[in-house]
Amino acid sequence: MARRGTARSQDEVRLQDLEDAAIDIVDVPAAVVCAICGDPDCPGCADLEEHTQNSGVVAIVPWERPGGLPSRLWTTARLTTVAPEAFFGSLPDGELATPLRFALVAEFVAVIGLVGTLTPLLALAAPELFGTIWSDPTTRGVLLRAVAAGIPTLAAAMVLLHAAHGFGMALGARQLGAKPRWSRAVRFGLYACGWDLVTLPLGWLTLLVTEGPRAALGAVPAAITVPTRAARAFVEKVYGSDPRLQSRARVMGFVVVMAVLGVLVAATVAGIVL
């Protein structure tokens, strides 16, 4: 007898994982509970229907639910990476303080993991140079101070760049007459910091240990492909299917990121020279 089974595509598996492990779908009557702010006494947030998924069904990001910080952080970051279309396509509007905290924690952990990975690799690649630098108290002190200041600075810079990406998409949509949805677009950028946590060394090793080599290898190209996939899904959901508007929003998002990056590099160089 032939063994029977059902084969599911990778996208279906990811979407099912999103629904089961990450986004809590809460079915509430839109006339009773506001689908944007959740306040039963809300007089009605703007464009309510555009923020509901289907007849009052609202997606709640794992980070915005109760629970332990590590679990909420990792689940949200993982979903932004392995299921970007489903995650960002259903990302609801809301306040910015919560996703900002997520972005700062995600980037801080990601940068610490990067430094923690590169340090032993440097020691292995150039043990004599590393030993000489580390044995000199003055040089060691300067190095430690640079790392202590550099980790939060780099994390903050990455958060700024991701937020600029979302802001730029809203700006591009506004240029073609669409409602910009500033808050929702910046939320996109802040939650996009989850990509860095998963694709940088610490997150990749976590994925390898918890889900195995196949999942870890699948996350390798995510650093390149996820931003485009997420932006496309978000723009289509929020700003509509007009190809010209979609293109302008995505291009402007890239332009703003490059502009902010240029300012950050120039400020860094000026700080070093001066």
The model's confidence at residue 49, banded by pLDDT at 50, 70 and 90, is very low
In a domain, 105, yes or no: yes
- Cα gap 204→215, rounded to integer Å: 9
In a domain, 126, yes or no: yes
In a domain, 26, yes or no: no
For the stretch 228-263, pLDDT in tens is 999 999 999 999 889 999 999 999 999 999 999 999
In a domain, 35, yes or no: no
Confidence (pLDDT) at 27? 38
Tell me the torsion sign for CA atoms 149, 142, 271, 201: negative
Q: What is the average pLDDT across 116-138?
A: 83
In a domain, 188, yes or no: yes
Q: What is the average pLDDT across 204-217?
A: 86
- Cα gap 19→26, rounded to integer Å: 11
Tokens of 244: 């010209």
In a domain, 50, yes or no: no
In a domain, 77, yes or no: yes
For the stretch 62-77, pLDDT in tens is 999 888 999 999 999 9
177: left (phi over 0), alpha (psi -120 to 50) or beta: left
Confidence (pLDDT) at 256? 97
Confidence (pLDDT) at 29? 37
Q: In this model, does residue 58 exceed pLDDT 70? A: no
In a domain, 47, yes or no: no
In single-letter form, the type of residue at position 136 comes to D
Tokens of 91: 């990302």
Q: Tell me how many domains the chain contains.
A: 1
Owning domain of residue 171: 66-273
Confidence (pLDDT) at 120? 85
Q: In this model, does residue 46 exceed pLDDT 80? A: no
Total-model pTM:
0.77
Give me the half-sphere count of Cα atoms (radius 13 Å) on the Cβ side of residue 71. 8
Q: What is the average pLDDT across 136-150?
A: 87
